[in-house]
Amino acid sequence: MYPGVHAHIDPDKPAAIIVDEGQRLTYRQLEERSTRLADALRKAGLGRGDVVALLSSNDVEMFVVYWACLRSGLYLTPVNTHLTAAEAGYIIDDCGAGVLIVSADLADLAAGAVTPAPALRLLLAYGGQVPGFDSYEAFTAAGSPIPPADQPRGADMIYSSGTTGRPKGIKPALPNRQVGDPGDPYVATFGGAYAMSPATVYFSPAPLYHAAPLRFGMIVQSLGGTVLAARRFDPETALRTIGEYRVTHSQWVPTHFVRMLRLPEDVRARYDVRSQTCVIHAAAPCPTEVKEKMLSWFGPVLHEYYSSTEASGITMIGPDEWRNKPGSVGRAKLGTIHICDDAGNELPCGETGLVYFERETMPFAYHRDPVKTAAASLADHPTWSTCGDIGYLDADGYLFLRDRQAFTIISGGVNIYPQEIEDALTLHPDVHDVAVLGVPDDEYGELVTAVLALRAGLVPSQALVDRLTRDLRDRIAGYKVPRRFEFVDELPRTPTGKLVKGNLRRLLAESG
C-alpha cells in the first residue's frame, strides 16, 4: 500500500503533524503534492536511479519529497542538518545529487554546502526565499496531479552518522516493483511485528533525516496511520504529546529515556502515557537499569530492535522476552546471525566476536567505496555482512551486544568494552552524560578514560573522582574501572543519541 490508497479512503486524515510547529499534512495533500513533485522531477530530466538530496529541519514537506522519490524510482538522500557546510557539501557531492531541496530556515547552511557540488542541476527551496534557489512551491505546482501508469519504487540512500570517520553512503539496490505493490520489507517486518494499522498514531521526536524516523514514517503512512514529529526533543513536551494525541506507537533512543527519567517525579506524574501499546527503542544499546525503570513507568510495552542503516539484518525482542533475557536485543527476524572472530572463523554460542547477518544477497553497497563494501563481508561468505558490532549468541539464539569493534579498548592486552562502563555510570546521581574510550598509553597500550558531563551544580574534584571510582568497583571488575577521568560541559552526540567518539579522541589528544 502507499498514501494514494488512503487519500481515497480518508482524504482529510492527517498523514503527518509537526507537533511543536502546528504543521499538518493530510493524505489528500500528501498524494497530490508528491504526485506533482514526481512529475516535475521527471520533466526536469531525472530518471530511475538518480538522486535527490534533501536538507531540511523536521517539516511535513519532507514526507512529500520522500514519497515523490519513492514513486519515481529515485533515491532520496536526507542530509544531517547539524553538519558544517563543508560536511553537508561532501554528502551532496558524494551522493551525486541532481537536485537539492532545502528548507528556508537552513539558507546559510545550504549556501555553503552547494559550492563543492558540481553535479547539482536544480536548487529548490521551500518555506521562503533562499538566494540562488528556485521556488520549490512553484516547481511542484507545475507538475501534473495525475499519477502515471509507471511508478517504479525508489529508495533512500542514507549516509552513516560518521561517529568514527567520514560518513558512508549506504546504497541499496532499487526494488523491481511499482510503488503500490506489496513486498516492502520494512512494512512487512516492522508494521507486522508492531501491529501497525490505520489506527496507529506514531510519535518520534528524532530528526527525520535519520534512517529510523524516516523509514518508520514511511511504514506508518503506507498503512494509513498518522506520523507525529517535532522540531526538537524536550522531555516534558514529549510526554505532553503522548497524552494530547493519544499516541499508540512511539520510538526513542536510550538518551531520550534517560532525559525523561531525570524529570522530577511530580512532572512525570502529570502526563498520561497509557495510550501507548508499543514503545519502540533502538539505535544504541540501552542500559539494563534504564530499561527496567522505563518498563516500570510505561508498562510492559517496550519493544527493542537491533538493525542498522545498512539493513543487514534485524533482531527484535518484546517486553516479556526481555524479562527472561535482560540485556539481549532479541533473536533474528531478518537474516541469520553468525558470530565470527577477526579471521572470519565462526564462534560457538557464548563466545564474543563480530556480528554478521547472512542474507540471500548482499543487501547494500557503500556508495563509491568498493573497498569498504568488501570489508563489510567475508571472502568465504560474501552474503554475510557486518556493521562492526561485537556481541555473542546464547544457546537460545538471543543476541547480546557488547560494543562497536572500533570502540573496543585494549588495555594491558585485555579487551575492554566501553558500553559496560558507560551503562554503570549512566544513571549515577552525579552524572549527566558519559562516554568511555581508550587513549594511547606507553604502559598499557590504551588507558581506560571516562569523559563526564556532571549534573547541574557539581564541579569536578578529586573527592568526586574517588566516589565514582568506589561506586564503579562495586559494579564492574576492577580492571575496567577508568584510570583517567575528564570533565566537559557537554558530550558530542548526534541528535539520535550516538556518541561522536572521534571528536572526543581529538579533544583528549589536544588536552594531553
pLDDT digits (tens, 9 = 90+) for 428-479: 999 999 999 988 887 778 899 999 999 999 999 999 999 999 999 989 888 8
**Residue 19 CA from chain centroid, whole number:** 20
Euclidean distance between CA atoms 497 and 490, whole angstroms:
13
Tell me how many domains the chain contains. 2
Cα distance between residue 328 and residue 322, in whole Å:
7
Tell me the CATH number at 71.
Answer: 3.40.50.12780
Is residue 118, in this structure, part of any structural domain at all?
yes
Cβ neighbourhood burial of 140 (10 Å; 0-12, 13-18, 19+)? buried
* DSSP letter, residue 325: S
Which distant-in-sequence residues (6+ apart) come within 8 Å of 182 by Cβ? Answer: 1
Strand blocks (E) in 287-422:
302-306, 314-317, 331-334, 336-340, 353-358, 365-366, 377-378, 381-385, 389-393, 399-404, 409-411, 414-416
Last residue in a domain, options 169, 196, 222? 222
Distances (CA, A) of 367 to 93, 310, 376, 379, 450: 12, 12, 13, 20, 35
Q: Which domain holds residue 57?
A: 3-222
Cα–Cα distances in Å, from 262 out to 426, 429, 472, 488, 493? 11, 10, 21, 19, 18
Domain boundary among the residues 204, 222, 240 is at 222
Output the CA angle 351-355-361, nearest 5 degrees. 140
Does 287 reside within a domain? no
Angle, CA of 335, 294 and 242, to the nearest 5°:
95
Tell me the pTM. Answer: 0.87
Helix axes 27-43, 61-70, angle to 10 degrees: 60
Here the cell at position 499 is 556518541
3-state secondary structure of 417: coil
Cβ–Cβ < 8 Å for 186, 218: yes
Question: Over pLDDT 70: what percentage of the chain?
Answer: 97
**Any domain includes 281:** no
User: CB–CB of 353/389 below 8 Å?
Assistant: no
Residue 58 placed within a domain: yes
Q: Which helix (H) or strand (E) holds 452?
A: strand 445-454
Separation between Cα atoms, residue 47 and residue 495, nearest integer Å:
33
Residue 205 in any domain: the answer is yes
pLDDT tens track, the chain, 512 positions:
678 899 999 999 999 999 999 999 999 999 999 999 999 999 999 999 999 999 999 999 999 999 999 999 999 999 999 888 988 999 999 999 999 999 999 999 999 999 766 678 899 999 999 999 999 999 999 999 999 999 999 999 999 866 556 788 999 999 999 999 988 989 999 999 999 999 999 999 999 999 999 999 999 999 999 999 999 999 999 999 999 999 999 999 888 998 999 999 999 999 999 999 999 999 878 889 999 999 999 999 999 999 988 888 999 999 999 999 999 999 999 999 999 998 999 999 999 999 999 999 888 889 988 988 998 999 999 999 998 899 999 999 999 998 888 888 888 778 888 989 999 999 999 999 999 998 888 777 889 999 999 999 999 999 999 999 999 998 988 889 999 999 999 998 877 777 788 778 777 777 66
Kind plus residue range of the DSSP H or E element containing 425: helix 418-426
Alpha carbon distance 189, 354 (integer Å): 24
Three-state secondary-structure class, residue 227: strand
Does an H or E element contain 41, and which? helix 27-43
Residue 448 lies inside a defined structural domain of this protein: yes
CATH number of the domain to which 490 belongs: 3.30.300.30
Residue type at 169 in one-letter notation: G
Contact 475, 423 (CB under 8 A): no
Whether residue 24 contacts residue 14, with contact meaning beta carbons closer than 8 Å, is answered with: yes
- 254 in a structural domain: no
Mark which of 222, 250, 278 sits at the end of a domain.
222
Q: What values do phi and psi take at 448, rounded to 5?
A: -65, 120
In a domain, 444, yes or no: yes
Cell of 246: 493519544
Instruction: Give the number of other Cβ atoms within 10 Å of residue 425's Cβ.
Output: 22
